[in-house]
């Protein structure tokens, strides 16, 4: 089980995971290649020197590779996830930092994408919430359009699920007027929520059994 999966609550599931675009590592990779090439050229000019100088050149050749590896591990462990309930931001390799915004509190999502962003599929996403933080900016993430649309769809779906559960509680509790609700029709609506990916198959079976028990 991944660290992200351990953060999930009951009936919460991951819908989309993205990271910073790979171009964010472009500068590190570029200078690492320049340094590696410089070391190789120096080795050739010096006739593949041995001894202390050769060891120094070897260390200089390994150093840029270690820098790239370090930045790749950092990039790999920094991710942005959309679940059916919230948006999570994870940072850190050994020491983790996790921040999240509930979809219920998201007021607006603004995406900014330059020409090159459209070409290489990266951009900035600003999540505006009703919390004290207010705005959470995700810079230069990969697949920003899909990230934004997924958030919007899950927020809308959350409203559909809440509306269904409110009516289902009426059927299950036999509140006044609840008898007018058609349980078989509600099971069809429940199946539609499952087909949209708004609820899991297990949730569908459990809620379906509850509704059937009242028929």
Task: State which of 75, 92, 107 marks the end of a domain.
Answer: 75
Give the residue from 125, 101, 104 showing the smallest Cα distance to 113: 125
Query: Does residue 49 lie within any of the structural domains?
Result: yes
d(CA 187, CA 207): 8
Per the domain annotation, does 174 fall within a domain?
yes
Question: Can you tell me the distance from the alpha carbon of 167 to that of 182, in angstroms, rounded to the nearest whole number?
Answer: 10
Residue 211 pLDDT > 50, yes or no?
A: yes
**Is 197 part of any domain?**
yes
| 187 or 6, which is more confident | 6
pTM to 2 decimal places: 0.69
- Give residue 36's domain range: 24-75
- Out of 40, 75, 110, pick the residue that ends a domain: 75
Q: Name the nearest CA neighbour of 122 among 139, 104, 140.
A: 140
Q: Is 86 helix (H, G, I), strand (E, B) or coil?
A: strand
pLDDT digits (tens, 9 = 90+) for 18-55: 999 988 888 888 888 887 777 777 777 666 555 566 66
Domain membership flag for residue 144? no
Tell me: pLDDT of 135 over 60: no
Query: How confident is the model over 41-96, as pLDDT tens digits?
Result: 777 766 655 556 666 777 777 887 888 888 899 889 899 999 888 889 898 888 88
State the chain's mean pLDDT as an integer: 78
Query: Is the residue at 55 inside a domain?
Result: yes
Secondary structure of residue 182 in the 3-state scheme: coil
DSSP-based three-state secondary structure for 210 = helix
Structural domain count of the chain: 2
Strands (E), the chain: 14-19, 79-83, 86-91, 97-102, 106-112, 122-129, 135-142
């Amino acid at each position: 089980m991944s660290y992200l999966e351990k953060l999930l609550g009951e009936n919460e599931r991951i819908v989309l995971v993205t990271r910073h675009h790979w171009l964010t590592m472009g500068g590190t990779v570029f200078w690492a290649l320049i340094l590696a090439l410089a070391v190789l050229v120096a080795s050739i000019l010096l006739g593949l020197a041995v001894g202390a100088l050769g060891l120094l050149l070897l260390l200089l050749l390994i150093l840029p590779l270690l820098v790239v590896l370090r930045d790749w591990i950092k990039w790999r462990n920094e991710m942005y996830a959309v679940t059916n309930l919230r948006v999570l931001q994870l940072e850190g390799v050994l020491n983790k930092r996790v921040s999240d915004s509930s979809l219920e509190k998201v007021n607006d999502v603004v995406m900014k994408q330059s020409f090159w962003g459209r070409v290489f599929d990266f951009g900035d996403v600003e999540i505006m919430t009703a919390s004290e933080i207010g705005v959470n900016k995700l810079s230069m993430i990969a697949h920003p359009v899909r990230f934004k649309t997924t958030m919007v769809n899950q927020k809308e779906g959350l409203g559909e699920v809440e509306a269904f559960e409110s009516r289902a509680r009426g059927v299950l509790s036999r509140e006044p007027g609840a008898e007018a609700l058609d349980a078989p029709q509600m099971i069809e609506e429940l199946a539609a929520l499952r087909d949209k990916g708004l609820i899991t198959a297990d949730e569908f079976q459990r809620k379906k059994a509850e509704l059937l028990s009242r028929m």
